[in-house]
Amino acid sequence: MPQDRRILKATPHALARSVRQLRRGGLVALPTETVYGLGGDATRRAAVARIYAAKGRPAFNPLIVHVAAVEAARAIARFDARARVLAARFWPGPLTLVLGRRPGSRVPRVVAAGRETLAIRVPAHPVARRLLQAFGRPVVAPSANRSGKVSPTTARHVAIGLAKYVPLILDAGRADVGVESTVVDLSGRVAVLLRPGAVTREQLEQAIGPIASLDDEAGDSARASPGRLASHYAPTLPLRLGAGAPRDDEAFLAFGPAPPGVGADRMINLSATGDLVEAAARLFDALRALDRRQFSGIAVAPIPDHGIGAAINDRLRRAAAPRPARR
Ligand code: AMP
Ligand code: MG
């Protein structure tokens, strides 16, 4: 494949260029431990608008603000005891907290699609951290893909999906976690899990006690996460979940021991040993690789729903959901 000149290895030189780009209000795709993000200055409306445009993201779907350290988070959002505990335990890392926005915060409300809350995360990836530290301001960084499509776990995925919208892609290899951050809403009395991820419900509950789900009564729909669209992360082909084996014209996304007689030309195993962490890291790349016109669909093996398996199944359900007529 020809060299893509927008993809730069994340050297100090490339980082310095990225900081200059952010200072100008421009966009930079950056590696994080979850997936690749499309970064822009969270304090500049023009940069925020550019991100919505580049992604084709609906205006009601709010963005996550990334900061270098918890102190920077506390400058823009209100932390209660639960937030302090979770930040101390899981930051830096793949956990996003939805908190009350501090009045007078430098982050404009458009970032949160007009809400009085802010979603914040301190990422653990060394390149993301270096960029945030050098830039010195909060950065909004939704996944670097067109809205509704499969999230990118490599620099090349970004280049393919956002071709004309992103001038600079910092490359640090494959994203470790492979699925987006866990999102917990702490803006009300009841903590609500808005999106499962690598930080599991079990881990969160051990730290702060019971957490409601969006479909529980306690996780009332008034707080329902905006942007949690039924159809998302979608390849072009339809998905058939919980399949023991593929039909003749289907590709197969396997997990654990593969069924006999399915050739390597139409099967990818997320983890032959049944390791959910390995499966999450491979999920999006595998969906892209099997999304080929020669198949009628992608059959997906059942995936256990514990630990990060809950995040994998959440993404697969959305990838399998009926699509809007045209996107
Ligand atoms: P991403 O596209 O990975 O950056 O994820 C953004 C997601 O975080 C959105 O789709 C929402 O589900 C959630 N989110 C971001 N900001 C807020 C907020 N202020 N309130 C509730 N959910 C939010
Ligand atoms: Mg996304």
Mutation to probe ligand 1, out of 181, 182, 225 (largest number of atoms < 8 A from CB): 225
Q: Which fold has domain 7-180?
A: DHBP synthase (3.90.870)
**Token pair listed for 26:** 């421009």
In 3D, which of 157, 141, 174, 120 has the Cα closest to residue 38? 141
Question: Nearest ligand, CA of residue 42?
Answer: 1
d(CA 54, CA 128): 20
pLDDT digits (tens, 9 = 90+) for 2-41: 578 899 999 999 999 999 999 999 999 999 999 999 999 9
The one-letter code for the residue type at 58 is P
Tell me the pTM: 0.94
pLDDT digits (tens, 9 = 90+) for 41-61: 999 999 999 999 999 999 899
Mutation to probe ligand 1, out of 27, 30, 51, 98 (largest number of atoms < 8 A from CB): 98
Q: Do residues 270 and 254 touch, judged by C-beta distance below 8 A?
A: yes
Domain with CATH 3.40.50.11030 in the chain: 239-320
**Hey, how many other C-beta atoms are within 10 angstroms of the C-beta on 278?**
17
Strand partners, 140: 40, 65
Helix (H), strand (E) at residue 317: helix 309-320
Ligand 1 in contact with 119 (CB < 6 A)?
A: yes
Across the beta sheet with 250-254, the strand order is 239-240, 297-300, 250-254, 267-269
Ligand 1 in contact with 318 (CB < 6 A)?
A: no
- Closest-CA residue, ligand 1 atom 4, reads 142
Query: Cis bond leading into 246, ω under 30°?
Result: no
Ligand 1 in contact with 225 (CB < 6 A)?
A: yes
pLDDT digits (tens, 9 = 90+) for 105-128: 899 999 999 899 999 999 999 999
**Token pair listed for 89:** 């335990």
Domain with CATH 3.90.870.10 in the chain: 7-180
Q: Which CATH number fits domain 239-320: 2.60.40.420, 3.40.50.300, 3.40.50.11030, 2.60.40.10?
A: 3.40.50.11030
Helix (H), strand (E) at residue 289: helix 276-290
Residues contacting residue 83 through CB under 8 Å, at least 6 positions apart: 97, 99, 186
Mutation to probe ligand 1, out of 36, 57, 63 (largest number of atoms < 8 A from CB): 63
Specify the pLDDT at position 323. Answer: 77
